Chain A
């Protein structure tokens, strides 16, 4: 495990506690301690002109004819995991949602629901990781909110981020734009985030070097549009994994997709962990992978562009849109037989034996 802070050790509040070692209800009371929390933790990390105005909201010029907006709430246990934190997840998640709309993310808001007793050092670490993720993605956190709730009312920390971006795609980026013959490109190997979290979750700990794939995708998408790639559909892979993303776009676009199982990259570590637990890596969560569905004539150039970025260096073609008459995904299995991919009922659960 390469996490820089061990959340388990930080979650116990030392006694006697030094001043402000933990977040208390008073930090959410709107008084002096609230101001201390904002001035001591949040503002220094996220500093920028718009946030520094200390207004109730941020005021900015639209910068574009068309804007995209997205919001997402983040809950994860543990708060710090190999390769990331709930903070980096909260920034990259919303950045990626905007990028998938064909937009260049500009501004984020961040709302924090903090459980009383959260160690201040852990909060600092998470906020710092958000600031770093925002810098890497080139977005600014321009407004925010903090609330503190009683112990037991939140799982340490919940974060909501909303974002606004400038639409850079000149044509609609929408599953309904998919056409028969389009290529399906995948930006890298799948299943890292889900297995990294599972490896450190209480009751399921197993030794592994798997780190989350959590990363911003907006600069890759920027480059695709700059080069004139006609991305008919972009979709980041999140909690339901590659299979869920494929099924969703197939249903929305009423298209039949054919995917080659052999072509989907899965690292040996993730495959090994999945085999042991009886999970299908196609349904395991990701936080830094996406699929791009574009005309076959653009596919090679798109792959070349994706491979220039570290995050998508292993980008590859995994299948094609077969027809545009009926929604569904068919997987050509490793041994050359067919199987239908479908949505799962809920989360995958490890099997008995």
Chain B
């Protein structure tokens, strides 16, 4: 398949792996920020091709994983209300709240529906005027334009029965939190390609300059990741720290202006709590005053109840790249996709889910089998 097969070419992958090995003179730790990259690395076994000096740690870029527990609880509370159609992207449905998940609400009779686009939720609101349709608007900058467009369209049509439960987060403040944390081990970043396709990478230029770390905007196919790693190592070995763009086929430095306009029109930057990490200032998006009538938290007068994360769940450390999932004592035992302690175990972009799915059985056995 065009634009897929070329980036999964075994020969080219091994060529890049050799290239990386040939320039690496000492240990380096890189973080891939986005959960999509984490899954590609584990699914294709990209890390197996890297020299032992290069360590990849997994970043916080899984929107499902960082959505705070309180908000999942609020989603569950709204979804239980009679007359509500609660809509969500598929992989939010299995995320555990304090008591159960959205799939359980559905099983108990709540009208919970999976949609692929927030605009489908707007359509549902149009065709069900006697029901309240709520969309669970989570995600990074990547999903923000479509979610903003949904609110914009609902406003234009004066839809009184559409609202969003919003928990948008932004990547650069999260990277900054990692870089400024005392135990930070990350020396370079594979920056999230799709986020940068929307907002560009000016912020990453500034970050790499301020913290003196290489940032390479990177795609999601095996060759993208290998090339991104190569560009990072090259900078590290040469003592450079710049923002570079590996994913030039999708990302422009200034990003997508139209998308930025609609985000800016509907949302404003606000402080946000990150699951497993805590509150980060100016790290999220909330509805502007003009659109606050579409805020489900206001419409349904949802109260924020402080809740404790399960003490055994180490997802905060996993999201900051301090631990790999298999270093968590609960991994694979007390915490499985069937009985997750944290969101990182159920999200399709969660690092724990990726390790469970691709790495749970002994890799030694796997390699020995051939």
Contacts and interface: CB of A to CB of B under 8 A. Distances in A.
Given A337-B48, A340-B359, A352 B349 contact: yes
A206 B336 CA distance: 32
B363 A338 contact: yes
The residue in B8, B49, B116 that gathers the most chain A C-beta atoms within 10 A of its C-beta is: B116
A17 interface: no
A333 B222 CA distance: 11
Contacts of B367: 338
B222 A334 contact: yes
Interface string B35-72: 01000001111101100000000000001100000000
Contacts of A333: 43-45
Given A256-B369, A277-B116, A322-B369, A351 B349 contact: yes
B138 A352 contact: yes
A349 B369 contact: no
B204 interface: no
B250 interface: no
A276 to B, nearest CB: 9
B49, B114, B124, most chain A CB atoms within 10 A: B114
Interface residues on A, range: 35 or more
B360 A335 contact: no
A258 interface: yes
Interface in B52-100: 63-64, 87, 89-94
Interface in A274-297: 275, 277-278, 280
B165 to A, nearest CB: 14
Interface residues of B, number: 55
B260 interface: no
Given A326-B365, A338-B366, A352 B89 contact: yes
A271 B4 contact: yes
A277 B365 CA distance: 32
Contacts of B94: 345-346, 349
A262 B36 CA distance: 21
A272 B45 contact: no
Contacts, number: 133
A350 B360 contact: no
Contact of B49 (A202, A262, A337, A353): A337
A344 B13 CA distance: 28
A203 B194 contact: no
Interface string A150-170: 000000000000000000000
A264 B90 CA distance: 26
A263 interface: no
Contacts of B49: 335-337
A227 interface: no
Given A326-B365, A337-B48, A350 B114 contact: yes
B13 A335 contact: yes
B352 to A, nearest CB: 12
A61 interface: no
B363 A350 contact: no
A349 B348 contact: yes
Contacts of B91: 349-352
A338 B349 contact: no
A249 B173 CA distance: 48
B366 A203 contact: no
B142 A328 contact: no
A353 B143 CA distance: 7
Interface in A121-140: none
Interface string B257-269: 0000000000000
B194 A338 contact: no
Chain B CB within 10 Å — which of A268, A275, A333 has the most? Answer: A333
Interface string A195-211: 00000001110100000
A339 to B, nearest CB: 5
A256 to B, nearest CB: 5
Nearest to B115: A203
Interface string A289-311: 00000000000000000000000
A348 B115 CA distance: 14
Contacts of A345: 94, 336-338, 346
Contacts of A338: 45, 48, 363, 366-367, 370
18 contacts: A202-B113, A256-B365, A258-B369, A262-B10, A271-B1, A326-B365, A334-B9, A335-B46, A336-B45, A337-B44, A338-B363, A338-B367, A340-B358, A340-B361, A342-B356, A350-B89, A352-B139, A353-B143
Interface of B: 1, 4, 8-10, 13-14, 36, 42-46, 48-49, 63-64, 87, 89-94, 113-116, 120, 124, 138-140, 142-143, 194, 222, 336-338, 346, 348-349, 356-361, 363, 365-367, 369-370
Given A202-B113, A334-B9, A338-B363, 7 more contacts: A203-B114, A204-B114, A328-B361, A330-B365, A334-B44, A335-B13, A336-B13
